[in-house]
Chain A
């Protein structure tokens, strides 16, 4: 179980706290809690939904404890798996890293409710139904929160003079 889900837990925790060591600590806390409460797990819900909920809650608790302390910078030096490249070469990769750092900054400025929905959607690719199960709300609320999270991020990036680069897919409309 640990080998199967550890990456997901660490990834979500890292998106929240933006620090590798803190994310590892949260991962440890999450699995400690999972092993303690595994017997009480309700089998009708998906295990990883439950796991995501614990991870999100632990990450939010961590941020609350850290409230007032300066937000750490993104672990950009360690955030790059080996072999990652950008289509435009090293310079384009550096620009993209800078853009991602700004995006993470702006995600950190979102409210907790908007942030958790955006992280679960954009980074974990959860469906609206899964997000609703994790955060404990209905589908309409997920749609609403995700819409405002996206709009605020888009406006924040535009205010910095940045627009996310268009991808190769482009507009799907004729």
Chain B
């Protein structure tokens, strides 16, 4: 057996995969060839090292979880649709209904109420142009309303210290100076 043949067979030899006749041939060769013998030993050492490699431990609880997940029945199409409806369509339809309600009832509930009692400009004009009843027409002719003096708010009263306005005929556009000593 040549080294080339031996190299091809040294792996199966180490692994016990050779037939008896081939195994004897390889053994005969590596007994005389140092390189092939070392190659066989390297392969053995590598396998020996790999055999020492451990795997992490898994608890029974974890195995139970894996089994439960693996044996869970796949959802049917109907279940998938129902699940999708539950997840998306129901909230979406609820929101749409809420929007419709808000549009319909919003102005009635929260709209401005003054429009209902404020007369329009046309109504006001019509009201002013209409003839007053006789009783109110007499009062309107007097400068002062019937029933007494004109009440003025304090802010509207003339300030005695304020410069007096001249009559329209005397006005020159300026104010009369105030005589503080007076």
Chain A interface residues (CB < 8 Å from chain B) = 2-3, 6, 10-11, 14-15, 20, 24, 27-32, 34-36, 75, 78-82, 84, 96, 99-100, 103-104, 121-123, 127-128, 143, 146-147, 150, 153-154, 157, 163-167, 169-171, 173-174
Contact yes or no, A10 B55, CB < 8 A: yes
B141 lies within 8 A of chain A by Cβ: no
Contact yes or no, A164 B42, CB < 8 A: yes
A113 to B: closest C-beta gap in Å = 16
Q: How many residues of B contact A (CB 8 A)?
A: 38
User: Across the interface, which residues of A come within 8 angstroms of B45, CB to CB?
Assistant: 163-167
Contact yes or no, B53 A103, CB < 8 A: yes
Contact yes or no, B15 A84, CB < 8 A: no
Of B11, B51, B62, B74, which contacts A24 at CB under 8 A?
Answer: B62
A-B Cβ contacts below 8 A, count: 113
Contact yes or no, B11 A122, CB < 8 A: no
Contact yes or no, A167 B44, CB < 8 A: yes
User: Across the interface, which residues of B come within 8 angstroms of A34, CB to CB?
Assistant: 70
Binary interface encoding of chain B residues 44-86 relative to chain A, with 1 for a CB under 8 A from any of its CBs, else 0: 1111111111111110001100110111101000000000000
Main secondary structure of the interface of A (DSSP, over half): helix
User: A121–B58 Cα gap in the complex (Å)?
Assistant: 23
A160 to B: closest C-beta gap in Å = 13
Contact yes or no, B67 A127, CB < 8 A: no
Contact yes or no, A99 B49, CB < 8 A: yes
Contact yes or no, A81 B57, CB < 8 A: yes
Contact yes or no, B54 A79, CB < 8 A: yes
Contact yes or no, A167 B48, CB < 8 A: yes
A151 to B: closest C-beta gap in Å = 9
User: A114–B48 Cα gap in the complex (Å)?
Assistant: 18
Contact yes or no, A122 B51, CB < 8 A: yes
Q: A10-B55, A28-B66, A146-B11 are in contact. List 7 more A-B contacts (CB 8 A).
A: A2-B67, A121-B15, A147-B7, A154-B46, A169-B48, A171-B37, A171-B41
